[in-house]
Amino acid sequence: MTALNPGAPPARPRLPLLDESADPVAARILDEIRGRTGRILNLHRMMAYAPGLMKASYDTAMVIRHDLTLPRKLVELAIMRTAQLAGSDYEWHQHYPMALANGLTAEQIAALGTAQGSPLFSAAEKAALAWCEATVMATDPAPDDFARLQQHFTPRQIVEMAMLVAEYLATARVIRALGIPIETTT
């Protein structure tokens, strides 16, 4: 798998990953996650210090993964670009296989930074990426970019895209702030 920042030292957690036995509320939520996905990520173990927020974040991620009207390929495209712009090795690592499994190619992923001029992306994908980039970079989308977005997506899908980018950007910030390390096995 291609690394976002090859050669970068691994993240060092600023807090120890929570031992499930330390908090029965967190343990119950982690058991729910394990039952649904079969595993617990370091992200969950760190966020478990705030179990209610961890559950809300996890529930939002599951809605993004399973209940949006946006095509899953486009969801992963936006997540990968958000991870790239936010410098989130963790999200990049987690979502790279999902992006490939949902129709993105390794060539497309490698070309994310130059997508607007690339023939590898459709007009809809380029419109979505421009929206994603403006959201992550905290700029207002240009009127022309928003008009392009409206040509390809419904109002619901536009809101879904804005919220999914905001959720993954927030998660990237939490990951970096707390130094959550990438799992050695996934």
DSSP string, the chain: ---SSTTPPPP--SSPPPPGGG-HHHHHHHHHHHHHHS---HHHHHHTTSHHHHHHHHHHHHHHHHS-SS-HHHHHHHHHHHHHHHT-HHHHHHHHHHHHHTT--HHHHHTGGGGGG-TTS-HHHHHHHHHHHHHHTT-PPPHHHHHHHHHH--HHHHHHHHHHHHHHHHHHHHHHHHTPPPPS--
pLDDT at 10: 76
Domain residue limits, the chain? 20-66, 72-178
Quick one: fold of 72-178? Answer: AhpD-like (1.20.1290)
pLDDT at 155: 98
pLDDT at 186: 47
Say what the pTM is. 0.93
Per residue in 27-86, pLDDT (tens digit) is 999 999 999 999 999 999 999 999 999 999 999 999 999 999 999 999 999 999 999 999
* Mean of per-residue pLDDT scores for the chain: 93
Per residue in 10-36, pLDDT (tens digit) is 778 999 999 988 899 999 999 999 999
| Sequence-distant (≥ 6) Cβ neighbours of residue 66 within 8 angstroms | none
pLDDT at 4: 76
CA distances from 165 to 60, 113, 119, 134 (A): 12, 16, 23, 10
- Window from 4-13, 55-64, 140-149 with minimum mean pLDDT: 4-13
pLDDT at 185: 61
pLDDT at 1: 55
pLDDT at 184: 80
